[in-house]
Amino acid sequence: MATANKNLSDYDKASIPNASKFRFGIVVSEWNDNITEGLYKGAYDALIDNGVLPNNIVRWDVPGSFELIYGCKKMQEQMVNAVIAIGSVIQGETKHFDFVCEGVTQGIKDLNVTRETPVIFCVLTDNNMQQSIERSGGKHGNKGTEAAIAAIKMAELRENS
C-alpha cells in the first residue's frame, strides 16, 4: 500500500514556494461529504498555512465526483492560479466505480493537457469507507493537504514557465 509508511499531511514548509500571491479554486464533490469535507479542510488549512489569504480561496460544490470535470473547467476561467478537484469514490457492488474513476481521471487529465491552469487530482478511489477515512484526516494524514502543496508548486511552475 502506497500510504502504509507515509503521512499525507507531512511536508517541509521551507521547501514550499511563497503562496501569498496566488489564488486557488477548490471544487468539492458533495457525494461522500463526510470524506470530501475532511479533504477540503486539509487543503484549505495547508493553503492558509502557506500564506494564501482566505479571500484568495474560491470554493464551489458539485453533486458528485463525475461533475468535478465540468466544475474544474469552469473554475479554470475564474482567474485562479491552480484548481484542486476534491472527490471520493468508494468501491461498491457494480462497475459504476470503475466508470466514474476512469472518467474523472481522464477528464482531469484532459483539462491539464488542453488548458493553462493546472488541476490537482484529489479524488480518493478507495475500496471501502475505512480507507477513505484514513486518507482524509485519519491515520494516514490528509490527501487534501498533499493536494494543496501540489497546487502551490504547480501555480509557481505556471508562473515561472
pLDDT range class, residue 3, cuts 50, 70, 90: low
Catalytic residue, chosen from 6, 7, 33, 96, is 96
Q: Is 140 a catalytic residue?
A: no
96-114 vs 68-75: helix axis angle to the nearest 10? Answer: 20
Does residue 24 have a known ligand-binding role? no
What pLDDT is recorded for position 59?
98
Closest CA to 41 of 110, 138, 126: 138
What is the pTM assigned to this prediction? 0.95
- Domain ranges in the chain? 44-62+74-160
> Is domain 44-62+74-160 in CATH 3.40.50.2300, yes or no?
no
**Residue type present at position 103:** G
> Was 161 annotated as part of a binding site?
no
Q: Edge-to-edge, what's the strand order for the sheet holding 119-126? A: 57-62, 24-29, 82-90, 119-126
**Distance between CA atoms of residues 49 and 111, nearest Å:** 27
pLDDT at position 118: 98
Least confident of 56-60, 74-78, 90-94, 130-134: 90-94
* 93 marked ligand binding residue: yes
Separation CA 87–CA 35 (nearest Å): 8
53-80 per-position pLDDT tens digit: 999 999 999 999 999 999 999 999 999 9
Confirm or deny that 136 is annotated as ligand binding.
Answer: no
